[in-house]
Amino acid sequence: MLVELNIENFAVAEKLHINFSKGFNVLTGETGAGKSVIVDAIGMILGGRANKDLIRTGCDKAILEGLFYLEKSSEINKILDEYGIENEKNDYLLITREIYSTGRSISRINGRTVTLGMLNNVTKYLIDIHGQHEHQSLLNSENHIHIIDSFGDDNFRTLKEDIYIYYNELVFQRKKLKDLSMDEIEKDREIDLLKYQIEEIDNAKLSKEEEEEIAKEYDKLSNIKEIELNISEALNILQSKEYEGFSIIDAINKVISLIGGIKNFDIEIKKYYESFTNIGFELQDLSGDLRYYLDNIAVDEERLVFLEERLDTINKLKKKYGNNIDEIIAYRNGIYEKFQILLNNEKEISQIKNEIENIEKMLEVKCEELSNKRKEIASILEESLSGELKQLNMSNVLFKVSFKKYNHFTPEGFDNVEFLISTNPGEDLKPLSKIVSGGEMSRIMLAFKSILAEYDKIPCLIFDEIDTGISGRTAQVVGEKIVNISKEHQIICVSHLPQIAALADTHFSIYKNIHGSRTVTQIKKLSFEERIEELSRLLGGVNLTDTTKMHAKEMLDLATKIKNG
**What is the reported pLDDT for 182?**
66
**What is the reported pLDDT for 262?**
86
- Report whether 260 contacts 270 (CB < 8 A): no
**What is the reported pLDDT for 242?**
60
The strand pairing partners of 108, in sequence order, are 96, 113
**What is the reported pLDDT for 437?**
64
Give the CA angle between residues 189, 195, 197 to the nearest 5°.
105
**What is the reported pLDDT for 89?**
61
Is residue 59 domain-resident? Answer: yes
Regarding beta strands 430-431 and 413-422, do their DSSP bridges make them parallel or antiparallel, or are they unpaired? antiparallel
**What is the reported pLDDT for 168?**
96
Whether the model clears a pTM of 0.95, i.e. scores above it, the answer is no
| Helix residue ranges, H only, 181-266 | 184-204, 208-222, 224-239, 248-260
Number of alpha carbons in the 13 Å side-chain half-sphere of residue 200: 18
CATH code at position 558: 3.40.50.300
Is residue 513 domain-resident? Answer: yes
**What is the reported pLDDT for 436?**
61
Is residue 442 domain-resident? Answer: no
Torsion, CA 348, CA 353, CA 354, CA 355, rounded to 10 = 90
Total residues belonging to the chain: 565
Is residue 44 domain-resident? Answer: yes
HEC states along 90-126? CCEEEEEEEEECCCCEEEEECCEEECHHHHHHHHCCC
Is residue 278 domain-resident? Answer: no
For 53, the domain range is 2-126+458-564
Is residue 510 packed enough to be buried (19+ CB in 10 Å), middle (13-18) or exposed (0-12)? buried
Is residue 516 packed enough to be buried (19+ CB in 10 Å), middle (13-18) or exposed (0-12)? exposed
pLDDT in tens, 240-299: 766 555 677 777 888 788 888 888 888 888 898 888 889 889 888 888 888 888 777 776
The count of domains in the chain is 1
- Report whether 314 contacts 218 (CB < 8 A): no
Is residue 293 domain-resident? Answer: no
469 residue type, one letter: G
Q: Which residue, among 188, 305, 230, has the nearest Cα to 238 in the 3D structure? A: 230
pLDDT in tens, 322-344: 888 889 989 999 999 888 888 88
Is residue 340 domain-resident? Answer: no
Is residue 307 domain-resident? Answer: no
Torsion, CA 63, CA 69, CA 74, CA 80, rounded to 10 = 30
Rounded distance between C-alpha atoms, residue 469 and residue 137, angstroms: 17
**What is the reported pLDDT for 439?**
64
Q: How many CB atoms lie within 10 A of CB 427?
A: 12
Residues of the chain with pLDDT under 50: none
